[in-house]
Amino acid sequence: MTAKPAYELLGLKAREYDDICARLGREPNYVELAIFSLMWSEHCGYKHSRPLLKGLPVGGDCILQGPGENAGIIDIGNGLAIAMKIESHNHPSAIEPFQGAATGIGGIVRDIFAMGARPIACLDPLHFGSLEKARQKFLLDGVVAGVAAYGNCMGIPTIGGEIHFEDAYEGNCLVNVMCVGQVEHDGILKASAHGEGNLIILFGSTTGRDGIGGASILASAEFDESAGEKRPTVQVGDPFTEKKLLEASLEMRDRGLLVGLQDLGAGGLSSSASEMASKGGSGIDMDIARVPLREAGMEPFEIMISESQERMLACVTPGNEAAALAVCAKWDLDATVIGKVTDTGRLRIFRGEEMIGDMPVAALVDEAPTYLVEPVRPRHEVDEPLAEDHYPPPEDPAAVLLKLLASPNICSRRWVYQQYDHMVQTNNALWPGGEAAVLRLKGRRDGVALVTDGNGRRCYLDPRRGARAVVAEAARNLSCTGARPVAITNCLNFGNPEKGGIYHQFKEAVEGMTEACEALETPVTGGNVSFYNESFGKAIYPNPVVGMLGVVDDVDRIARHGFAGDGDVILLLGSGRPAVDGSEYQLRIHGEVAGRIPDVDLELEKKLQALVREAIREGMIISVHDVSDGGLACCLAESAIEGGRGAVVELDDAGDGADGSGPRADIMLFGETPGLVVATVAGDDLERLRQMAGDVPLRVIGRTGGERLVIKSGGRELLSVPVSDAAASWENALEKMMQGT
C-alpha cells in the first residue's frame, strides 16, 4: 500500500500543496509544511466560510472593535466598553469532555484579556445526544465538570447558557463557550506586532506536546472509527496558571509596557506570531531554541504547532523588556524573549543561528485558499407547513404539559448551573434560570444583560428562517429583562462544508442571520465557525448559536418571568399562529421532526421588543416571559412555577387565522411561533399599556392567582394542573435523567 504524502497526513490537499510550493518558490520543509497545514486549515483559515461571512453587518455607532481581533469591543458609555467573544471546543470535548470543555473556557478567557479587558462572566451553550444513552450522560457530566473546574478556579462566574438534547448530536456534541469582560476605552489592547526592532516575549506555561495538530487534524475533519486516536490532540488546562497569566497581562497593560498582546490558542506559536505580524504589517524572526519546554527532545515543528495552554505572546519595546519580564517573575510565570519584529513581512524560524523556516506572513494569514461549493437543498426542507390535522389530538393535554415540562430541553437547568460559582464577583442582578443574565457594573446604575440562543432543530427544517428566529429570540430574551440589544457574537456549528447540502445550510443560515441583525440593529462583533461536525457521515443539525449583549439603563428596573402577585392581568403581546412544525411538542409527543417552521416578522418583532422595554422602564410590566419551547402552555407554567402561584387563562381570541378560526386546541397550547410574549400588569395600568402598544397586538388572556394553572377555550377547560405538580415535573427532571431514575 502506498504511503500517504506528508501534506495529506497534515490535512492539506494536493492543490494546496502545489500552491504552497508556488508561493515559496520551492518545496517546503517539514516545519514550514506543518505551519501551513495549520494556517490553511478550516479552523484557522476559514476556507469555506470567509466569502459568506463578509456579508454580515459588522458596523455600528457602539462598535469599537469588530471582527478581526481576539474579541469584539462594544462601547456602553461613560468611557467603559465590553469585550465579548464566543467560540467552539466541540471536537476536543467529544474526545475528552472534561479537558475539552475546560480548555475551551481557558481559550475564550484569554481572548478577552488579550484585548485588555477583565473577564466578568462566561456562558456555555451546550448540545448533546439523548440522555437515555450512557455515553451522553458521560459527556454532559464531563463537560459541566470541566466548565465548572476552570471557571470556578479563575473566579469568573458562569451566569448563563443553554442545553439542548437531540439525537443529531450523539456523535458530535457541541460545546460553545462565551466570555465577556469590561475595559476602559484607553485600556484596549490589540494583537499587533509592529515597530521594527521591538521584542516578542513568550510568557505563561511551558510548551509540551499536548494539543499538537488540534486545529488541523482534530477540528478540521469529520470523526470516524479513528476518533479515539485523536485524544492526544486535546489540550490540557491549568486554571491557576491562567489566573496568574490574566493578572500579569493586565498589570503590564496598566504599566504601559505592551505594544501588542496575543494569546496562543489554535495553531500555537505559528498562528499567534503570524497573526500578530499580519496585523502589524510586519515580519517576525523567532528563535525556538529559547522556548521553555516541558518535554525533552521536542522537534522544531512540534514546538511551533503545540497548543499547550496558558501561554501568551507580548510585543514590547526594547526599553520595556526588563519590566515586562519582572512582572512575569512576580506572578511566577516563565517568560522569555524569543524573537523580534522585522520589516521583512516574513515569519522566519531559527534554531539558534540556523534558519529552519522562512514564509511570507501574507501567504500564511491573508491568502489561505477559499472555496465556494454549489449549494444543494436537502430533501427534508419543504415549502409548506404540516396540516394541523397531521397528528391526532391528545386525549389528556394536562399530561402532555407535565411531560413537556419534564423533557430535557425544557426542564430546569439548576443541576447544571449550581455546579458553577455563578455568584463570584457579586455582580448578579438577575440569577441564572431567567430570560437572560443581568450584571451590575460596580459604581454605576447601568448594567449589561447577556444571553445565548440556538435551535438546530428549527434550522434543520429551514436554516434561513431558523437563523432569523435565533437572533430574534436572543434579542427578545434581553428585551424581556428590560435590556436594549446592541450586538452579537456568533458560533456557527455545521457539518462538512464540502458537501452541497451542508454548504446550503450554512449559506442560508448566514443570510438569515444577516437579515435579522440588520433589522434589529445588532451588528456582529466576531465569532467562530465550526465545521466538520460529523460522525460516520452523519452531520449535526445546522446550529448557528448567538451570544447577544444588551444594555440596561437601570439595574433596579429589570423584569423577571415569574408571576409576582394575585389578581394581575395576563396579556399576550405580539402575533403569530403557533405551529407544530419543529416544536418540542412534535418531537416529544409525536416522535418526529418535520414540516416548515413559522417565519418571524422582524418589523413587528422590533416594535414588540421596544414596547416591552418601555413598559418595563415605566414600571408597568410586573412579569414577562417569551413564548418559546413548549409553546404558550409551557410558558405560562414556567411563570407559575417561578412565581409560586397559578392562573386562570381564557384563549377564546387566541387565533388569528384568515377565516377567523384559531388553531386546534393542542397546537394553541403547545405549538410554537416566534414573536409572542406573555406579560402581567396591574389592572390600573392596562388601558395605558393598550395606548402605548400602538399596532402591536395585545390580548387579555387571564389573571394570576390560585394554586392551579387552568387554561380554557370557549368556556371549555383544556387543562387544569396544580402548580405544585408542574413544579415537581420541571424542577428535578434533569438530575433524575442523569441518575437514571
Per-residue pLDDT band at 426 (split at 50, 70, 90) = confident
**Could you give the CA distance from residue 279 to residue 341 in angstroms, rounded to a whole number?**
12
Task: Check residue 714 and give its pLDDT.
Answer: 86
Residue 485, H or E segment? strand 484-493
Task: Check residue 372 and give its pLDDT.
Answer: 95
DSSP per residue over 509-557, as a string?
HHHHHHHHHHHHT--EEEEEEE---EETTEEPPPEEEEEEEEEES-TTS
**Could you give the CA distance from residue 622 to residue 440 in angstroms, rounded to a whole number?**
21
pLDDT at 214 over 60: no
Task: Check residue 223 and give its pLDDT.
Answer: 52
Give yes or no for a contact between 311 and 202, defined as CB atoms under 8 angstroms apart: yes
Task: Check residue 663 and give its pLDDT.
Answer: 86
Condensed to tens digits (0 to 9), the pLDDT of residues 227-274 reads 444 445 577 889 999 999 999 999 999 999 999 999 998 889 999 999
Mean pLDDT estimate for the chain: 94
Q: In what order do the strands lie in the sheet with 334-342?
A: 260-263, 311-316, 199-204, 334-342, 283-287, 346-351, 354-360
Per-residue pLDDT band at 221 (split at 50, 70, 90) = low
Strand partners for 594: none
Cα dihedral: 469, 471, 473, 476 (round 10):
-130
Give yes or no for a contact between 62 and 74, defined as CB atoms under 8 angstroms apart: yes
Task: Check residue 421 and give its pLDDT.
Answer: 87
Task: Check residue 213 and give its pLDDT.
Answer: 62
Condensed to tens digits (0 to 9), the pLDDT of residues 664-687 reads 999 999 999 999 999 999 999 999
Task: Check residue 654 and give its pLDDT.
Answer: 41
Residue 672 half-sphere exposure, CB side, CA atoms within 13 Å? Answer: 25
Give yes or no for a contact between 104 and 93, defined as CB atoms under 8 angstroms apart: yes
Q: What average pLDDT does range 480-509 have in this prediction?
A: 98
Identify residue 119 by its one-letter amino acid code: P
pTM, to two decimals? 0.95
Task: Check residue 222 and give its pLDDT.
Answer: 55
Lowest mean pLDDT among 208-217, 522-531, 730-739: 208-217
Q: What average pLDDT does range 434-453 have in this prediction?
A: 94
**Could you give the CA distance from residue 237 to residue 93 in angstroms, rounded to a whole number?**
13
Radius of gyration of the chain (CA): 26
Domains of the chain: 7-40+189-368 (3.90.650.10), 388-408+560-741 (3.90.650.10)
Condensed to tens digits (0 to 9), the pLDDT of residues 310-345 reads 999 999 999 999 999 999 999 999 999 999 999 999
639 grid coordinates: 411563570
Identify residue 460 by its one-letter amino acid code: Y
pLDDT at 225 over 70: no
Tell me the helix, strand and coil percentages in the chain, rounded to 5: 35, 25, 40
Task: Check residue 423 and give its pLDDT.
Answer: 83
Condensed to tens digits (0 to 9), the pLDDT of residues 144-193 reads 999 999 999 999 999 999 999 999 999 999 999 999 999 999 999 999 99
Question: Cβ-count burial of 527 within 10 angstroms (0-12 exposed, 13-18 middle, 19+ buried)?
Answer: buried
Task: Check residue 655 and give its pLDDT.
Answer: 44
Burial 175-206 (b: 16+ CB within 10 A, else e): bbbbbbbbbeeebbbbbbbbbeebbbbbbbbb
Per-residue pLDDT band at 661 (split at 50, 70, 90) = low
Per-residue pLDDT band at 463 (split at 50, 70, 90) = very high
Condensed to tens digits (0 to 9), the pLDDT of residues 513-539 reads 999 999 999 999 999 999 999 998 899
Per-residue pLDDT band at 420 (split at 50, 70, 90) = very high
Q: What average pLDDT does range 624-647 have in this prediction?
A: 98
Sorted by sequence, the CB contacts under 8 Å of residue 517 that are 6+ apart come out as 56, 57, 471, 488, 523, 524
Task: Check residue 660 and give its pLDDT.
Answer: 47
Condensed to tens digits (0 to 9), the pLDDT of residues 92-110 reads 999 999 999 999 999 999 9
Sorted by sequence, the CB contacts under 8 Å of residue 561 that are 6+ apart come out as 434, 435, 480, 623, 624, 625, 638, 639, 642
Per-residue pLDDT band at 4 (split at 50, 70, 90) = confident
Per-residue pLDDT band at 657 (split at 50, 70, 90) = very low
Condensed to tens digits (0 to 9), the pLDDT of residues 82-96 reads 999 999 999 999 999
**Could you give the CA distance from residue 687 to residue 702 in angstroms, rounded to a whole number?**
15
Condensed to tens digits (0 to 9), the pLDDT of residues 576-599 reads 999 999 999 999 999 999 999 999
> Catalytic amino acids?
43, 89
